[in-house]
A and B are shown apart, each in its own frame.
Chain A
Amino acid sequence: MSPRSGFLGVLVPDETTRRAFEETFADWRDEWTRAATPIERLRVSTRGWISVARLVALAICAGLGNSTTWAAFSMTLFATAGLSLLWVSWDRAPGQLPLSAGYFAVGAVLLVPQGFAFLMAPAAAIGLGTKRGHEPSVITVALMLFVTMVLLVGWVFPASNQMYREYVYSSLSGRTGLLTRGVPELNAPELIRQVRTGSVGERRAGISALSNRLALVVSAPVFFIFGVAVRRRLSVRRRWGNARFVAGASAIAVFLTCSFALSKIRSMWPVLAEQLSASRGLSIWLSSIVLCLAIGVLARSSNQTSEPGTEEPGT
């Protein structure tokens, strides 16, 4: 079982679509071996990528018509909203600021997008809204999470952060006015512009912020796919609820371990502290890489376990 087949098995649970992917890859391979000149190979590669892109689009469109896909996505959003409110309430308790409950409620709502950006990935790993035997289209949910995160960290989070700052400023000082925006309050196009045209310091800060935001965008689909792989592996012998709990808990454990390892490295080698700055989202990048490797291992082992029962007709 190749790693590609393993990943396909996790991403595309539907047998028909999975076989279509396998056959398309086999066509690509056959044509590639037959191609004699570099031009022909280039043509074969182009055709291959177009075919795979078409198949991905078909799989995503089919997934959009699946109610379980929408249930999984909307339940992830609800869970993230709940977790965000809890986090915001705990992190920005009213005692910290001399604000009334009403002011606090408005502030909490403005901070929810911040919570969303950080908590979407762990909530996605739990896989709420999914049931045993009724799996969502993994590729579709992963894409929906990706797009949501792009919008969130690219535009919503910076805007709400700035609104929160101005709100607190006006509440505390009794004056209204526009505050100068910092790097976290710049939206994605502004951040890219800063990286391209800013001074050395601005460029460095912009790259760190972009890396951090990109890490958050990538982490949501990776955590979700990891959760699917764990649940599928465990659900054979464990209850569905337990499998979901283990998926979420292990994803969070990987993130905490990566953060701890990086902080240890920073404290042990102060020379590397600048390179391994936390503001670049390195813990999230590292945990996403570890989870990708784990997905590969889980997918291969689960496919190997199921191989004897899935013999091809005519072989």
Chain B
Amino acid sequence: MQLPNSERVILQLLVGKGPCYGLELVESSRGALKRGGVYVTLGRMEEKGLVKSAVGESGRRLYTPTALGERALAAAHVFTGHIKLAKLGAKA
């Protein structure tokens, strides 16, 4: 599964920090995620089954990664690792 950069950042943050609101994700991403646009990405990820959301006590949506989302992130890490190894091998 190909994981766009914004989706990968969101999954990394959700797996690392636990359930988050959209604005928390933007603030923790250090500029990698933009306000407004983050909710379009989150909506798309929810449609793909990578994250799920529920309306919390504050009335705002709280996002959590699904098992598929965690697997996709792990696969993306392995894939990136392979590419780095291949690049190192080519240089050597």
Q: A residues bordering B, Cβ < 8 Å? A: 15-17, 19-20, 23-24, 26-27, 30-31, 47, 50-52, 54-55, 58, 312-315
Q: List residues of chain A with CB within 8 A of the CB of B43.
A: 15-17, 19-20
The 8 closest A-B pairs by CB, nearest first: A16-B43, A51-B36, A20-B39, A314-B54, A51-B35, A55-B36, A54-B36, A23-B39
Q: Tell me whether A314 and B55 are in contact (CB under 8 A).
A: yes
Q: Other CB < 8 Å A-B pairs besides A16-B46, A58-B37, 18 of them?
A: A15-B43, A16-B44, A19-B43, A20-B36, A20-B39, A20-B40, A20-B43, A23-B22, A27-B22, A27-B23, A31-B23, A50-B35, A52-B36, A54-B35, A313-B53, A313-B55, A314-B56, A315-B55
Minimum Cβ distance to chain B for residue A40 (Å): 15
Determine if A24 and B39 form an interchain contact, defined as CB atoms under 8 angstroms apart.
yes
Q: How many A-B residue pairs have CB under 8 A?
A: 58
Residues of B within 8 A of A19 (CB): 39, 43, 61
CA–CA, A58 and B42, complex, Å: 14
Q: In the assembly, what is the distance between CA of A51 and CA of B55, in Å?
A: 21
Per-residue contact bits, chain B 26-39, to A (CB 8 Å; 1 contact, 0 not): 00000000111101
In B5-48, the 8 Å CB interface with A consists of 22-23, 34-37, 39-40, 42-44, 46-47
Minimal Cβ-Cβ distance residue in B for A52: B36
Residues of B within 8 A of A24 (CB): 35-36, 39
B71 located at the interface, meaning its Cβ lies under 8 Å from any Cβ of chain A in the complex: no
Contacts of B56 in A (CB 8 A): 314
- The reply to whether the CB of B77 lies closer than 8 angstroms to some CB of chain A is no
Which residue on A lies nearest to B46, using beta carbons?
A: A16
B82 contacts the other chain (CB 8 A):
no
Q: Is the CB of A27 within 8 A of B35?
A: yes
Is the pair B40, A26 in contact by a Cβ cutoff of 8 Å?
Answer: no
* B residues in contact with A47, CB < 8 Å: 35
How many Å lie between the Cα of A15 and that of B40 in the bound state?
10
The answer on a CB contact under 8 Å between B47 and A16 is yes
The residues of A that contact B39 with a CB separation of less than 8 Å are 19-20, 23-24, 55
B55 touches A312 (CB 8 A): yes
Query: A54: which of B22, B37, B44 is its contact (CB, 8 Å)?
Result: B37
